[in-house]
Amino acid sequence: MRFSLITIVILLSTLFSKALAQELNCQVTVQASPSLQISAVDKEIFSSMETTIFEFMNNTKWTTDVFEIEERINCNVLITITEMPSTNTYGGQIQIQSSRPTYNSSYNSQLFNFVDQDFQITYQRNAVLLFQPDQFRNNLTSILAFYAYMVLGYDYDSFSLEGGDKWFNKAQQIVLNAQTSGYTGWNSSERSRRNRYWMVDNALHQIFKPLRKCFYIYHREGMDKLYENADQARKTIFQSLNELNKVHASKPGSPNVSIFLNNKVDEITNIYAEASMQEKNQIVNLLKRIDPANSSKYQEILK
């Protein structure tokens, strides 16, 4: 009896400790493109892949920080398989989204939303994903770990100025480990500037520090105080977005700025719905200058 009680206590302690260590509350979906012909066996493999990725993202201890269950970072992974060129080989895209709650409200502000088209992996049913920060094991593990650290980096950046440095550096190490793997998405020499290499390189580059300052002020001094004092919060949000002028002057059309603003178009439109016409004109003129590709969306603010 005594042995059984001790065993139960140890098991409960282990489970409790593990729950506290989880940083991510990650929902995972693996689906086939409508144009892809798949069999019942393929469906089972996709289901297995979904479960494997879910367990990897949610059960890996990504940091040394302690998270309460309610503090976990909400994120979503959506994988769409568009091709199966050979046995156990899959290609397609992966979309990663993350958000964080705003103070004194039930609203969740989207921090990160990106569709990565460089998704090529090998996978066998019921495979176990093992991650080592200092080595490349396989492309699936590396892609998932890279985005886990990017999600952490952006979340920490939203609570303290450049607070995500440690996690962005870990993401960059994954990039370096993967550069000789032969898979796309990891190298500076590739045609696309919207790949994993440039995403994290830009996040850590001196030129993009105003974007990270904007990210912090926008969320911590703006969104978190919106329900406390909406007028002041809007002014703060405008000031934070004004920081993007510095990045635009050096790197016009930067993917990192585009990713940030694409995430925020609808949110900013809602924030300024009750603003004065003067405020609306100010924010619209600013955003059109920095992000002309979304000019028509920003025009909606003036209605």
Q: Is-contact 92 80, C-beta < 8 A?
A: yes
Question: pLDDT tier at 102 (50, 70, 90 boundaries)?
Answer: very high
Query: Does residue 293 form part of some domain?
Result: yes
The whole-number pLDDT of residue 21 equals 52
Element (H, E) at 248: helix 244-250
Question: pLDDT tier at 22 (50, 70, 90 boundaries)?
Answer: confident
Query: Does residue 13 form part of some domain?
Result: no
Average pLDDT of span 180-203: 95
Q: How many domains does the chain have?
A: 2
Question: Three-state SS string across 108-166, please?
Answer: EEEEEEEEEEEEEEECCCCCCCCCCCCCCCCHHHHHHHHHHHHHHHHHHHCCCCCCCHH
One domain, residues 179 and 235: no
Query: Does residue 7 form part of some domain?
Result: no
- Give the separation between CA 196 and CA 200, rounded to whole angstroms: 6
Domain's final residue, options 171, 188, 204: 204
Domain's final residue, options 162, 181, 204: 204
Query: Does residue 1 form part of some domain?
Result: no
Element (H, E) at 83: strand 73-86
Instruction: Compute the residue count for the chain.
Output: 303
- Give the separation between CA 6 and CA 24, rounded to whole angstroms: 30
Average pLDDT of span 9-32: 68
One domain, residues 133 and 243: no
Per residue in 197-256, pLDDT tens? 999 999 999 999 999 999 999 999 999 999 999 999 999 999 999 999 999 999 998 999
| Chain mean pLDDT for the chain | 92
CA dist 188 → 138, 184, 192, 283 (Å): 20, 10, 9, 34
One domain, residues 71 and 220: no
Residue 8 has pLDDT above 50, yes or no: no
The whole-number pLDDT of residue 303 equals 87
The whole-number pLDDT of residue 10 equals 40
One domain, residues 77 and 174: yes
One domain, residues 175 and 232: no
One domain, residues 212 and 298: yes
Query: Does residue 15 form part of some domain?
Result: no
Q: Which structural domain, as residue segments, surrounds residue 230?
A: 208-303
| Cα dihedral 116, 117, 120, 125 in deg (nearest 10) | 70
One domain, residues 74 and 160: yes
One domain, residues 37 and 186: yes
The whole-number pLDDT of residue 16 equals 44
One domain, residues 123 and 179: yes
One domain, residues 241 and 156: no
185: number of Cβ within 10 Å: 25
Average pLDDT of span 151-177: 98
Query: Does residue 148 form part of some domain?
Result: yes
Long-range CB pairs of 46-55 (<8 Å, 24+ gap) are 46/81, 48/125, 48/126, 48/127, 49/79, 49/123, 52/123, 52/126, 52/127, 52/128, 52/129, 53/28, 53/77, 53/79, 53/129, 53/140, 53/144, 54/26, 54/27, 54/28
| Cα dihedral 257, 118, 30, 82 in deg (nearest 10) | 120
Please choose, from the candidates 89, 64, 146, the residue with its C-alpha nearest in 3D space to the C-alpha of residue 112: 146
Q: Is the pTM of this model over 0.85?
A: yes
Domain's final residue, options 160, 179, 204: 204
| Ranges 19-23, 143-147, 193-197: which has the least confidence | 19-23
The whole-number pLDDT of residue 2 equals 38
Query: Does residue 268 form part of some domain?
Result: yes
Query: Does residue 112 form part of some domain?
Result: yes
Residue 14 has pLDDT above 80, yes or no: no
One domain, residues 219 and 162: no
Average pLDDT of span 148-157: 98
Average pLDDT of span 158-165: 98
One domain, residues 191 and 213: no
